[in-house]
Structure 1
Amino acid sequence: MPRLRLTLAYDGTHFSGWQLQAPGLGRTVQGCLEEALATLCAQPVRVHGAGRTDAGVHALAQVAHADVPRSRTGFPWQKALNALLPKDLSVLEAVETDPAFHARFDAVGKEYRYTLWTDPRFVLPWRRPYVWDVGRRGVLDVAAMDACAGLFAGYRDFAAFQNAGTVVNSTVRQVHGVVRLPDAPEHEMVWQFRAEGFLKQMVRNLMGALVAVGRGKVSPEDIRSVLTKGQRSLAPGTAPACGLCLHAVEYASDGRGHKRHLFHQPEAGQG
């Protein structure tokens, strides 16, 4: 069967995450895609995603794959799917790929971005679903946040920043960098998280720690100690889902034999 590679964008506000849920437990991205593909293929189709984003988390470039009937070879998948999908989910690209390609297991890196709203006077209404409003709680100590972010880079055990719910063989992850981007829109602070992979809610937990440092509740050295001890109960709380977006997924090739390197460039400066 031909294998489709899909690149997706979605507003996670009204989704119960990526992964299929039991009936009555909420609409999911995977569920909407499988329903649309089943309609187009006249048979059930299973979709596999690169990452299982949580309820409320957004995506600019989620990647997924699905096997479709050979009789649909050459079908205009992007146009057809977008005609059936809800307005908060779009297919940015749909191409046939190597039958061995796997959206999740072939991924070699992911980039998430988290956006903070820092103006204490107001939040633009149309930005509220996509930011964490931290401005009303006072000015953040950005220098301390930058110092803390530097602690997360490298090959480290992030057990203290994993929420319960997923069994993993190891809580060690290679983090390429956590940096504050210098070109954020006015009133916003955008943090970039790049790694080979992340634990459950790890990015939101790291962001929660950075904000706690910025507010002076804990110091970078406190967070260093939390990392060393590896106990989730010692770490600050989890940041809200609304500010998080899956920005990119990296693969060694694009499934058509072309090399792709999203993360080989020097890290963004800490503006």
Structure 2
Amino acid sequence: MIRIRLTLAYDGTDYCGWQLQPNDRTVQGELEKALAVVLGAPVRVHGSGRTDSGVHALGQVVHFDCDEKYATRPWRRSLNGLLPKDIRVVAHGVVPSDFHARYSAGSKTYEYSLWHERDFCLPQRSRFVWNCGKVDFAAMDAASRVLVGEHDFAAFQNKGTVVGTTIRFVSEISRHPGITEHESVWRFTAKGFLKQMVRNMVGCLVACGRGKLTPQDVAAILESGDRTLAPATVPPQGLTLVRVEYPY
């Protein structure tokens, strides 16, 4: 047996997230169906993370095991001919047997795209941005610095996943230009994130940008560990899993 690593890109709009769910269409489900056709038997795929319903990916990494006779299989061409058009394999390769898409990851990078024109949103962008309106970028930048580093992020975790600790180390939160002049992109990098943690951090940043919170308020929310003190979780469509990095 050998272990195959795939990198996927997908538009998550029409999926109930990455993870298999009974009676729901998921990215993992579609990929496993395509693999079953190629391999002639069911196979379980393991992903680097569970993107939520409506969340996108440019660099979702997965792995699965198969017979060594498939080592030179042109996986990108084979699977892209079977997968829906909103899921694509962009890279593939054989990896060591101890590689694990989730547990071997050194860091993950997500980007959240904001649209800043309340009067309209381009139809070509509406599936990939949250229209939050005008914001004060300086206030958001100041608030983002509060969240960088190692902290207990319990106040930014939604219920639904049991974890051993809510302490995480966020190495980067940075602002970048968007695809159009009406957008901004916020980049978040950490070894791992809690459930909907990025979307909850974005909610705090936007609240600061709207003048509803100050960076000092964000620090107090972080220190409290109380999810009810933080703003509501922002919509999923602005979020994209951009990259997963590994030490080898």
Instruction: Give the 4+ runs in structure 1 shifted more than 4 A.
Output: none
CA distance in 2, matches of 1:184, 1:80: 31
Residue in 1 aligned with 2:237?
Answer: 242
CA distance in 2, matches of 1:196, 1:77: 28
CA distance in 1, matches of 2:238, 2:131: 9
What is the CA distance between 1:183 and its match in structure 2? 6.1
Residue in 2 aligned with 1:268?
Answer: none
Matched, 1:112 2:97: no
CA distance in 2, matches of 1:4, 1:163: 32
Q: Is the 8 A contact 2:7 2:90 kept in 1?
A: yes
Residue in 2 aligned with 1:33?
Answer: 31
What is the CA distance between 1:185 and its match in structure 2? 2.8
What is the CA distance between 1:78 and its match in structure 2? 1.1
- One-letter amino acid of the structure 1 residue matched with residue 30 of structure 2: C
Residue correspondence of structure 1 range 84-103 to structure 2 within 5 A? 84-103=82-101
For 2:52, what is the secondary structure of its paired residue? coil
What is the CA distance between 1:197 and its match in structure 2? 0.7
Q: Could you tell me which runs of 5 or more consecutive residues in structure 1 were left unpaired when the two chains were aligned.
A: 254-271
Residue in 1 aligned with 2:126?
Answer: 128
What is the CA distance between 1:63 and its match in structure 2? 0.3
For 1:86, what is the secondary structure of its paired residue? coil
Matched, 1:163 2:158: yes
Q: Is the 8 A contact 1:17 1:53 kept in 2?
A: yes
Q: Could you tell me which runs of 5 or more consecutive residues in structure 2 were left unpaired when the two chains were aligned.
A: none
Q: Is the 8 A contact 1:152 1:177 kept in 2?
A: no
Residue in 1 aligned with 2:208?
Answer: 213
- One-letter amino acid of the structure 1 residue matched with residue 165 of structure 2: S
TM-score, reference length from structure 1: 0.89
The C-alpha deviation readout for 1:105-145, integer Å capped at 9, x for no partner, is 0001000000000023311011000000112xxx3121111
CA distance in 1, matches of 2:118, 2:234: 18
Q: Is the 8 A contact 2:139 2:209 kept in 1?
A: yes
TM-score, reference length from structure 2: 0.98
Residue in 2 aligned with 1:21?
Answer: 21
What is the CA distance between 1:184 and its match in structure 2? 5.2
The C-alpha deviation readout for 1:79-119, integer Å capped at 9, x for no partner, is 10000000000000121111111000000100000000002
Percent of paired sites with the same residue: 54
Residue in 2 aligned with 1:11?
Answer: 11
Residue correspondence of structure 1 range 172-251 to structure 2 within 5 A? 172-182=167-177, 185-251=180-246
- One-letter amino acid of the structure 1 residue matched with residue 11 of structure 2: D
RMSD: 1.0
